Amino acid sequence: MKRGIIFSLLIVFLLLATTKIAFASFGLSLFPQFGGRIIYPKAIEIQALEAAGFQCIVLGSTFSIMPIGSPIGTPVSYFIPAGIFSKTRNSVRAGQLIMGKYSFKTMIECILPAEPPVIVTVPLDTVTIFGNSR
């Protein structure tokens, strides 16, 4: 009797453990990954518009990388929302190595103060989690 209860509990425990492991590994691959060296602490697209006189409102920060080991087609410019911080607690600077995950695109509006005002929207991939070197 005790042996049957212990065996049943063991099976239930193993089922729960494998389910958690299965969900954990599925969750890890839910968002695409990126990695590379930061070449500009401000996204190239934003820099170009600001050099042309546009004013860009960014609620967070942007950066551009030179991809290393990422699949072809991986974006090079990203947006980090205000509430997302590096897991390594390092600020983003040019020359650092960085890796993380990104999800949907965030539209950043840049306005050229003219008559009439010119509005350009820049889509950047949104970083959900990242870590960078010192």
DSSP-derived secondary structure for 10-45? HHHHHHHHHHHHHHHHHHHTSS-EEEEEEEESS-HH
Whole-angstrom distance, CA of residue 30 vs CA of residue 25: 9
pLDDT digits (tens, 9 = 90+) for 44-74: 999 999 999 999 999 999 999 988 876 777 7
pLDDT digits (tens, 9 = 90+) for 9-18: 667 666 665 5
Domain boundaries, the chain: 1-30, 32-132
Question: pTM for this structure?
Answer: 0.69
